[in-house]
Amino acid sequence: MKAVPFVAVILVMLIAGPPFLASYWVGLLTQMLIFALLAMSLDVLLGYTGLPSLGHAGFFGVAAYAVAVLSTTYHAGFWTCVMSGILIGTLLSTLLGLLVSHVRDVYFLMITLASGMVLWGLSYRWIPVTGGDNGISGIPRLDAHAGLPFAGPVAFYYVTLLVFVVSASLLALLVSSPFGFTLRGIRENELRMKSLGFNTWLHCWVSYIIAGAFASVSGVVWAYYNGFVSPTYLDLTASSELFLMVTLGGPGTLVGPVIGAGAIVLLKNVISAYTQRWPLILGTFYIITMFGAPQGLWNLGRRRRASS
């Protein structure tokens, strides 16, 4: 609960700031929020349940593709697109969850890696539907599609902020509920949780579904923000970058992934404008963080304060 004042300050800045920023920065903030939500959803698995998923960008991508296909090929309405995007992503995580939630550790890593690659391959190869390598462009703008009275990047930002705040609140409720504590118990010692009578398999499955659902929400928002989807959004690079956002920011917290996502989106966009060697700088940043703050940036401050 120590995070409350920090979160409040950031929230006020996020609400009050954007009208005074140029459209480029508003766009960047929107991207940060979308990826922050995605990173938080992965953290339910990675940080809270202790399940390292390397295919999480798959759900994000599937939801984004659902919106893209329905809105361009079938000219579906706004709510049909949004609900289908979230539903298809969640349904997929329900099915894949059945496969993966009885394995742990490196086996979990391998199976999620493989499922992520399958989804990527599908987007790349199912050309009549996904357009293959070319992706799908021409997704209608949010204001036009949803019939909103206001348009432009600032309006889109506030819609994203609303989705983000609602989702983050739901996730915060989830992780502080008895269910959330059970997940942490599984992370710490699954055998003990089993012997206490918890159905750990069911808990892992449900946490996988929840993570998939929130990833789908961010995928839907992303499709509207970007106006374009392509296989690169769900490939291994995307999934591992997501993994880095969580580990960098601080797994097992909700603020950590937000910091990680914000930092990486910002670093990628800002440094790359100054030098072509930006992956080198980003890599150095990762390594230094892993040495200096192995539990993530957010946990570092917390641990230090607790010890002093």
Cα(41)–Cα(47) distance, integer angstroms: 10
Q: Any bridge partners for residue 229, and if so which?
A: 136
Residues 189 to 228: which contact other proteins by CB under 8 A?
A: 226-228
Asked if 65 interacts with other proteins (CB under 8 A), we say: no
Dihedral sign (CA 129, 130, 134, 138): positive
With CA atoms as reference, report the closest residue to 204 among 19, 90, 39, 49.
Answer: 49
Of residues 97 and 252, the one with the C-beta less far from other proteins:
252
Cα(293)–Cα(126) distance, integer angstroms: 42
Residues 231 to 250: which contact other proteins by CB under 8 A?
A: 232-233
Asked if 12 interacts with other proteins (CB under 8 A), we say: no
Exposure string over 147-183, b if 16+ CB within 10 A, otherwise e:
eeeeeebbbbbbbbbebbeebbeebbebbeeeebebb
Task: Compose the 117-156 pattern: x for residues touching other proteins by CB under 8 A, - for all others.
Answer: ----------x----xxxx-xxx-x---------------
Asked if 271 interacts with other proteins (CB under 8 A), we say: yes
Of residues 105 and 133, the one with the C-beta less far from other proteins:
133
Among 11, 25, 122, 179, binds other proteins (CB under 8 A): 25
Asked if 270 interacts with other proteins (CB under 8 A), we say: yes
- The pair of structure tokens assigned to 23 is 């459209």
Centroid of chain to Cα 192: 30
Check: CB of residue 155 under 8 Å from CB of residue 148.
Answer: yes
Asked if 7 interacts with other proteins (CB under 8 A), we say: no
Check: CB of residue 254 under 8 Å from CB of residue 175.
Answer: yes
Asked if 62 interacts with other proteins (CB under 8 A), we say: no
Asked if 16 interacts with other proteins (CB under 8 A), we say: no
Asked if 11 interacts with other proteins (CB under 8 A), we say: no
Residues that bind other proteins (CB under 8 A): 6, 9-10, 13, 17, 20-25, 27-29, 127, 132-135, 137-139, 141, 226-228, 230, 232-233, 259, 262-263, 266-267, 269-274, 276, 279, 281, 284-285, 288-289, 292-293, 297-298, 300-302, 304
